[in-house]
């Protein structure tokens, strides 16, 4: 059973979030804070009494854009404590997902909040707390060791390079994607194309997308034998998923599902040759 604090400086949205949380049978209590100051005051009380104390909080549902400190600022402060509550971000903005998962967020829920999506965030929080409770403490009373990634769950959070998830990512036919400590293995065959996002790569499948902290150049090298070809500095495409090659006024593009992707001049001839070879067997 979860004890929850919801933080949002827009009162109607906070009330709606609290209503949905209190309707979930896995939530034993849900309090609200309408600004960062009130949230920090309540969290401080919870930290002072400890997670097992009467004022303990298991999960904080945080808006990102607020006056004064942002939700990301609050999460950074919490990260400095030995046993902080879990964090779920609830926001109208997609652009902060990378920072959110760097801060070990359990989930990243977009507004307007759908009840079934919020229920999934609650489930993930429950699963994480269960794993933490079952984890043996380090000798000498130190903090528990990190849990091994579980092979279940879903989402689009980044898996840090060099982590267990990243080492598992090159195990062959699957790549590991991580969300709030839960690792899911996505078949490489399900990936239609990959989009570079700085040091990250976004994997696009028919069911959605996943963000991993692996450079596009690394995936290009790993998956060359699996039929992935570079068509642009930003895109790597599964050759077998290209449905159309389009030439228009000297520019080349390909259609992959509903996406139309530009092909750079540098890669256009090689791509045409590969597609011709594929068409002729």
In this predicted model, what pLDDT tens digit does every residue of 29-49 receive, in sequence order? 999 999 988 999 999 999 888
CATH code for the structural domain at 186-280 = 2.40.50.1020
174, β-bridge pairs: 187
pLDDT band at 126 (very low <50, low <70, confident <90, very high): very high
The number of helices, as runs of H, and strands, as runs of E, in the chain is 8, 16
How wide is the angle at C-alpha 19 spanned by C-alphas 128 and 50, nearest 5°?
40
Q: Are 57 and 74 in contact (CB under 8 A)?
A: no
The domain segmentation of the chain, as residue ranges, is: 2-133, 186-280
pLDDT band at 89 (very low <50, low <70, confident <90, very high): very high
Alpha-carbon distance of 102 to 157, in angstroms, equals 9
Q: What is the mean pLDDT of the chain?
A: 82
Say what the pTM is: 0.53
Which tens digit of pLDDT belongs to each residue from 187-243?
Answer: 999 999 999 987 788 899 988 888 888 889 999 998 998 999 999 999 999 999 999
Cβ burial, residue 234 (10 Å; 0-12/13-18/19+): middle
What's the fold here for domain 2-133? Rossmann fold (3.40.50)
């Amino acid at each position: 059973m979860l004890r929850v604090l919801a933080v949002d400086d827009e009162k109607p949205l906070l009330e709606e979030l609290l209503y949905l949380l209190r309707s979930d049978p896995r939530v034993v209590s849900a309090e609200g804070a309408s600004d960062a100051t009130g949230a920090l005051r309540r969290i401080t009380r919870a930290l002072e009494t400890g997670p097992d104390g009467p004022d303990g909080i298991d999960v904080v549902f945080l808006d990102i854009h607020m006056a004064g400190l942002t939700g990301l600022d609050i999460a950074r402060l919490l990260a400095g404590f030995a046993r902080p509550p879990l964090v779920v971000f609830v926001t109208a903005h997609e652009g902060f997902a990378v920072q959110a998962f760097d801060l070990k967020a359990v989930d990243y829920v977009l507004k307007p909040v759908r009840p079934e999506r919020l229920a999934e965030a609650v489930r993930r929080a429950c699963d994480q707390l269960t794993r933490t409770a079952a984890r043996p403490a380090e000798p000498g009373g130190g903090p528990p060791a990190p849990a091994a990634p579980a092979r279940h769950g879903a989402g689009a959070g980044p898996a840090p390079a060099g982590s267990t998830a990243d080492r598992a990512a090159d195990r062959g036919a699957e790549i590991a994607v991580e969300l709030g400590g839960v690792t899911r293995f996505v078949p490489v065959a399900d990936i239609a194309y990959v989009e570079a996002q700085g040091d990250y790569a976004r994997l696009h499948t028919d069911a959605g997308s996943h963000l991993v902290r692996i450079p596009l150049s690394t995936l290009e090298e790993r998956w060359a034998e699996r039929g992935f070809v570079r068509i642009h500095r930003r895109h790597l495409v599964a050759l077998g998923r290209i449905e159309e090659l389009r030439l228009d006024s000297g520019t080349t593009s390909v259609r992959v599902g509903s996406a139309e992707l530009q092909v750079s001049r540098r890669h256009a001839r090689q791509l045409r040759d590969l597609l011709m070879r594929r068409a002729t067997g």
